[in-house]
Amino acid sequence: MPVSMTCPTKHPKSGVYRLRKAIPSDLRAQAKRLFGVSREFIVSLEVKDAAAARRLAPAALAEVERKLDLCRQSVDAPPQALSHMQCVALAGEWRKDRLALNEANPGSLDAWEAEKDYLLIGMEYGDEYAPTPRDIAEAEALAAGHGIVADAPSLRALAQALWLAKVQFAETMMRRAARDYGPDEYAERYPPLSSASVAGSAVVKTPGEAVSFENLIRGFCRDKGVNPDATPIPEDFDRRRRFAKHLAAFLGHDDARRVSAEDAVRWKESLLEGGKSLGTVANHLSALSAVWTWGVTNKKTESNPFQGLAKPPKKVKGARESSKRPYTPAEAACVLQAARRETKATLRWAPWVMALTGARLAEVVQARKEDVKYKDGFPFLSIHENKADAGEVRSVKNGASIRNAPIHPALAAEGFLKYVEALPAGSPLFPDSKPDGRYGNRARTATKAMSKWIRDTVGITDEAISPSHSWRHWFMDAARDCIENLELRNALTGHTDNVNESHRYGLGYREKPERLYNAVAQIALPSIPDDKGH
């Protein structure tokens, strides 16, 4: 049996300090049910320095003691019966959380039909669903996640209610996948969990006041200068909230103070087992780790359970930053030729602008007529950030992305400047790319349209081609062929200059319009055949 330790000790292989505390034998069953461990709690302190480990140990020990208190309370309050209403309410909470996570992007109708069929396997008309041991375990986890200790008959009843909630969830998702976003036909059948509580049920209380995931994320975003109540909804806030809702659905609760390091590890493993890539899982963990770190700093939570977990996949030495490739000269010519035949502004002009400026699609479609301007007599597209635009988002990747991209002579000869001149004052550069309804982001609308056009109309289906971003790769290669000065190339593309300390001095090429224009003018267009193939 492991020895109970309350002082940090080194891991024998990694050298990272950790805190270990044995679980008393009379609490092992409760610890296994509530936290998934039965012999000891082990908390990695994520540091190799002894002094730092001693500073972190008290908070880690307090978290372990909190878990043991929960286990003791579950012993003191023996399992009791849940009412039928409570079981239905708990199942409703499960369904509500799953719907929040999946409704916006329902996926395939066939997949949800198959899911419903799978749930109905073995059921005969008029028979009551017979829960499996796995169903019972899932019901117990759902109840425990809401701090409820239920007896065996209640767990069976809860498993039956949960099965029906899954069937009804699949039916609703079938409607959503079929583009039916009418009222949720089952929502009013589930009572709120708060009104379903009855005297006599065993509820494990968490010491201290609960802090919901939602409130924690709102506080974090406000400190970052992001208004969570803004319209349209800020994408950074919405993204973290979506991840947190997924976590809440997995844990069965949304109390930030109750999330343990073991919970975070189990969630990470579940995401990986569910087919998420290492990079995607790292994004989930990193997004929530930042929120919980803010919570610790602002006395909302006692620890960050995600600390040290958000490790991105290791890069292969010598590998390219991206798996995407540039357009070949033949592909580039094919796309630009096809664009000439289009009547929609985005498809007609965005490929030409991206090809001859190296700009990202988001930088291009968020621009307005007034952003095409002249400096020292040379035409430029001003790429900048402006959060004051009502009803839509306008942003750049980073500070280096703010720049003036010179209009290539070939782009002017193609008629782009005449097109811009004909737009009404204040008009978006490409009015057909509307801001998406959720985030007010034109790039999302344009990306979908561009991808569909490149794949279906132009006929370039190679997955190594990114319909929009491959132009940036193409431009970089074209620039390397004729522009030897790296600082000049970076000024054109909006990349950061980190070659040496000199990049920190002076205004650089970004404030030299003539040098930028003359540089971009050297980039040669691919040979574009006319419509007769010449």
Write the secondary structure of 486-525 as one string of H (helix), E (strand) and C (coil).
HHHHHHHHCCCCCCCHHHHCCCCHHHCHHHHHHHHCCCCC
Q: Where are the alpha helices (H) located in 146-277, listed in sequence order?
A: 152-177, 193-196, 213-223, 235-251, 261-273
Strand order from edge to edge, sheet including 17-22: 9-10, 17-22, 40-44
pLDDT tens digits along 10-50: 888 888 888 888 888 888 887 776 666 788 888 888 778 88
Query: What's the mean pLDDT when you consider all of the chain?
Result: 81
Neighbouring CB atoms inside 10 A of 11's CB total: 13
Q: Is 202 a residue whose pLDDT tops 90?
A: no
pLDDT value at residue 382: 86
At 111, list the tokens: 């997949």
Q: What share of the chain is helix, strand, coil (3-state, %, to 5)?
A: 50, 5, 40
Burial of 208 (0-12, 13-18, 19+ CB in 10 A): exposed
Give per-residue burial for 61-86: e unless 16+ CB within 10 Å, then b.
Answer: bebbebbbebbebbeeeebeebeeeb
Per-residue pLDDT band at 172 (split at 50, 70, 90):
very high
User: In 3D, which of 214, 207, 471 has the Cα closest to residue 333?
Assistant: 471
- CATH code of 329-520, in short, is 1.10.443.10
**Pairwise pLDDT comparison (2 vs 123), residue with the higher score:** 123
pLDDT tens digits along 209-259: 678 898 899 888 888 777 787 767 788 888 898 899 889 888 888 889 999
- CATH code of 208-314, in short, is 1.10.150.130
pLDDT value at residue 145: 65
pLDDT value at residue 60: 77
pLDDT tens digits along 326-358: 999 999 999 999 999 999 999 999 999 999 998
**Pairwise pLDDT comparison (333 vs 400), residue with the higher score:** 333
- Specify whether the CB–CB gap between 28 and 39 falls below 8 A: yes
**Pairwise pLDDT comparison (482 vs 488), residue with the higher score:** 482
Range with the largest mean pLDDT of 224-228, 426-430, 526-530: 426-430
- Provide the whole-model pTM: 0.50
What average pLDDT does range 49-54 have in this prediction?
A: 82
Range name among 256-260, 399-403, 450-454, 490-494 with the lowest pLDDT average: 399-403
Burial of 199 (0-12, 13-18, 19+ CB in 10 A): exposed
Per domain, the residue ranges of the chain are 1-77, 84-203, 208-314, 329-520
* Residue 147 DSSP SS3: coil
At 114, list the tokens: 């198959």
- Specify whether the CB–CB gap between 82 and 158 falls below 8 A: yes
Tell me, what DSSP letter sits at residue 27? G
Range with the largest mean pLDDT of 129-138, 440-449, 496-505: 440-449
